[in-house]
Structure formats: structure tokens, C-alpha cells
Amino acid sequence: MSTKKKKTGKTTLKDMKYIFVVGGVMSGVGKGVTAASIGQILQSRGYRVSAVKMDPYINIDAGTMNPIEHGEVFVTEDGDETDQDIGNYERFLNTNIYKVNYMTTGRVYESVISKERNLEYKGKCVQVVPHIPLEIIARINKAAEKAKAEIMIIEIGGTVGEYENLLFLEAARILKLYHPKDVLTVMVSYLPIPNMIGEMKTKPTQHAVRNLQGAGIQPDLIVARSEKPLDNHRKEKLAINCNVAVEDVISAPDAASIYDIPLNFEKDNISRRILEKLNLSIRFKDVKNEAWKKMVSAIRNPKSKTTIGIVGKYFSTGDFSLSDSYISVIEAVKHAGAENRTKVELVWINAEDVEKEGVKILKGLDGIIVPQGWGGRGSEGKIATIKYCREKKVPYFGLCYGMQMAVIEFARHVAGLKDANSAEVDLKTKNPVIHIMPGQAEIIKEKGYGGTIRLGGWPCKIAPGTHLAAAYAKYTKDKVISERHRHRYEFNNAYRESFEKLGLTIAGTSPDGEIVEAVEIKNHPFFIGVQFHPEYISRPLRPHPLFVEFVKVCRGE
């Protein structure tokens, strides 16, 4: 893709358009889903769209962050550990998003310092401004070039008014300064309705806009998040106090499903407003979004109900319970539910509660998922859950750690190895049926934790005649598929032959046969554990076949 150079010496990609999405009032208002929805809408208007997430953390990536505090770590095809919003971009845009599309403050500073050490600044005094913002802009352009995008959606993490994201806002300001016709800013802000007042309040958003203006940026559109739709009075009030047109205030009420959001946005003609402001033609006069509408209709109009339990441990934060730690699993189940025309009700069960109260709390579930995890906390509750599923013929789906726990359960209760465990949980176990991968012990010894585990897309050879093969066969004829990984421990092949003789089927391996990628048990409705993370590549318009098959079995088909 060619570039053009302005008289200022600043460069941008030829004909590229940029949409910055920023947040106001508080975190968690839905910037990521808003950015993804805008991208999906513009795609449906005929444009090539990609998205970038900019996180204000000093962390190089999200891999070492506590999922309870930060939410799920999403893994890209090329092995980057990113913020969960990258997952939203992939799901809404139905395309892979790569490492180049994710940046943190730490990653940007690391790059600038490295360039300074390599004399790439040719002896200049390297300063926070302009060199950090210019590095940010260069990274945005690099991501756009890789994606061959015409429009880049750029989400700035955090909330306007925070010190941490000022340099990302400065990058947006500089880009707008030199390319005023190519840059647009969308503020996503929250309009509370206090119970004691009963009226939607615009003042917090007015203050947020003034904070943004203080950073030198005027929002072009305001996406107004609230429990209820905005009325004209509130729109007019925001318009006059925030210096925007009334039609540039987009109502964003709470939605039953995040997949309703693009359709809700178009009720206020958001694509027309964006394209007009960026001086782009409307390639499709009527939004060609039929597949999306059909998927949303399937979610809204289920023919049955299915109850699935998720037994994990990353739920609690103080007195509150969150599900963001498993957001990709949640969305993959939703996609499969829509494909099966069933409403999936998720029941959150803390593995430690299973340890305390027993498996009686699992009764009544149509199926159970044990998702990813680290360390020993709650492991015995997960093993008890898996034993219950195996013995009671309850459909079971183990993801990564969930597969490893299934192997331990089989070792203890079928193979009779009472002390079997994972070396991650118990280094002294005499039967480490799950052990550390080659080379990882040395990495841990040197405390090289960040970005050193098995990450990204890796091939998996499917064993013929398995439930796994049958599930994939409906979607692909390939005997070797690609799935994303994030693990440091694996199945110990020393136990492989004996476990197979006792009835544990090795359903998938690496192409060389060395790494066990999937296990299952015959004569069971659905008992599959996978070392990989199928949830990462499930899309609303392309549900993952294993989740589709799991939900199908759970609903009784």
C-alpha cells in the first residue's frame, strides 16, 4: 500500500481513514464492543476495516495480568497475549487480528528505547512528546498496512481524564492536526439514571467531553450508553453543551445481546454520519447485513432452553462476581446456541464451592464446561466435577486446564493412581500425569514468565473414528486443523499407552504425534477435553464445531 507525504513531513497511508474510540465517565461502558460494532457496520457498507487496541498499562502484554482484575487474556493467531477486546474485534469483523494491532504503553516505550539504543533517531534528543505519539501512529499505520484496511478503528483504553492514556490521546490529536479530513473521534460515555432521582443525567458526559477537549480533541460523535434509549431532550442537551450536532448523538441503551448493538446503532444512522464526516461514499445504500440479522434473529427466537454450568475459579472480585475472565467461552457458547436455535443459560459455579459442598450443586445441569486456569486453587473441585460428569453421563467439555484435570481424574479413578496430579499443582507427586513441557522448566527457573509459554495457532491431527473427528467433519474435510494454544504443561506420554488400554482415547495430537491435543471417552454422550482453546476462534457467523456439537448434545439431540 502506497503512502503520501504532507508538507509537514508527517506520513500516513494513502486514503486511510482513522476512527478513534475513547471512553468517558467510567470504565466498562462498552468501548470495545462499540469499536467492534462500528467496524462491523462499516464492513457491511462495503469497506475493508481493521481495529487496534491501545492499553495504557506498562505491561508489555496482557499475559501476566490477573484475569479477575483485567478480564480474559485473548490469544491471537500469531501468539500475542492481548486484551479481551481483540477477541471482540475478531468476532465482529470475522477476521484474525494480529500482534501488530495491539499495543500497551510498555510495548511502545520498549520500542522507542530500543530505537534510541540502535541510533535510529540519529542522535536526536528523544522525548516523550513527540516521539512516543509518533511511534503510536507508526504502529497504527503498520497494522493498517498488514490488514490492507481502508478504515482503522482505534480504541484507546481507560477513561478520558486519566493520566495514563494521555499519550494515546496526544497521538490522536497529532494525527487529526495533520490529517483533519481523515480522522474522526467517537466518545462512548455513560448517562446514569440514579434511582433516587429517576431522571437520566447528562452532566457526567458533559464533563467527560470537556476533559477530552482539554486534551485538544473535539468528539465528532457521542455514543450515549444508558439503561434506556435517549430521548430528544437529552440529545439536544448533549449537543448544545458538547458542541456536536443532535444527529451526532447516538443512543446506546442496554441490549439483550451484544450482537444487537450494530443494528441498534443503525437506528440512529451511525454509518451515514461517519461516512459523511470522512467524505466517503455509501457503497451500499441499504446495509447488506442479512447474515448478521439472521444470526441475531436466531439468538432472539430460540426453540428450546439449555442449561450449562461453567466450573471455574476466576469469578470473585471483592463482594462481586464477574464473568469477563471467560468471555470467549461465553461468546462461543452463545454462537453455538444460536446455531442450535436454543437459549443457553449459563450457571457459574466456583470450583472451591464444589470442594466445600460436593457435587450435589451440579445437579440439574444439561452439560458442564471446565475452562482454562492456572495453579492448584480449586483443582480438586474441578476433578470432582469431572468424575461426576464421567460417571453420570453428563456432557463434559474441558478446555486446556479442563483437559488436564480430566486426565488426572481418569488416572485416579480409572487407572487407580490415587496420587496422580499435575506437576503444576504438586511437584512431589509420584504420578505427574500432566508435566511441564520441554524447555519450560529452565524458563521458569530464570523467571522468564512473560510470553514464553506455547502460544498461538498450532496444528492438530485428528484421530479418525472419534467424536472429535465427527464434530469437525461437518465443517471441514481436513484431517489436520489449526487451533490456538496457551499452556506450559502437557499430557505426560509415559502414561499414554496404559491409559489408552483402560479406555482413554487420544483423539488429537500434534502432527508428529508427540503432544496430546485432545482426549475423549467412548460410550459417553460427550466427554472431550482439548489442550487448545477453540473458544478463541469461534465467531457469531462461524461458530466453532466443537461448541456446536457440545450444545447439540446438551439439548438432547
- Strand ranges of the sheet holding 421-422, from the earlier edge strand across to the other edge: 421-422, 432-436, 489-491
Q: What angle do CA 144, 146, 149 make, to 5 degrees?
A: 40
Quickly count: other Cβ atoms within 10 Å of residue 281's Cβ. Answer: 9
- Annotated active-site residue 125? The verdict is no
The pairing of beta strand 221-226 with beta strand 183-190 = parallel
Quickly count: other Cβ atoms within 10 Å of residue 196's Cβ. Answer: 4
Is residue 75 a contact partner of residue 311, using CB atoms and an 8 Å limit?
no
The pairing of beta strand 421-422 with beta strand 320-321 = unpaired
HEC profile of 181-239: CCEEEEEEEECCCCCCCCCCCCHHHHHHHHHHHHCCCCCCEEEEEECCCCCHHHHHHHH
- Annotated active-site residue 400? The verdict is yes
Identified catalytic residue from 485, 533, 544, 554:
533
Identified catalytic residue from 535, 544, 549, 554:
535
Quickly count: other Cβ atoms within 10 Å of residue 135's Cβ. Answer: 19
Rounded Cα distance between 97 and 114, Å, is: 25
HEC profile of 265-290: HHHCCHHHHHHHHCCCCCCCCCCCCH
HEC profile of 477-543: CCCEEEEEEEECEEECHHHHHHHHHCCEEEEEECCCCCCEEEEEECCCCCEEEECCCHHHHCECCEC
Sign of torsion over alpha carbons 60, 63, 65, 68: positive
Grid cell at residue 373? 486456569
- Annotated active-site residue 116? The verdict is no
Identified catalytic residue from 131, 135, 335, 400:
400
Rounded Cα distance between 377 and 355, Å, is: 10
Look-up of cell digits 447474515 = 291
What are the catalytic residues? 400, 533, 535
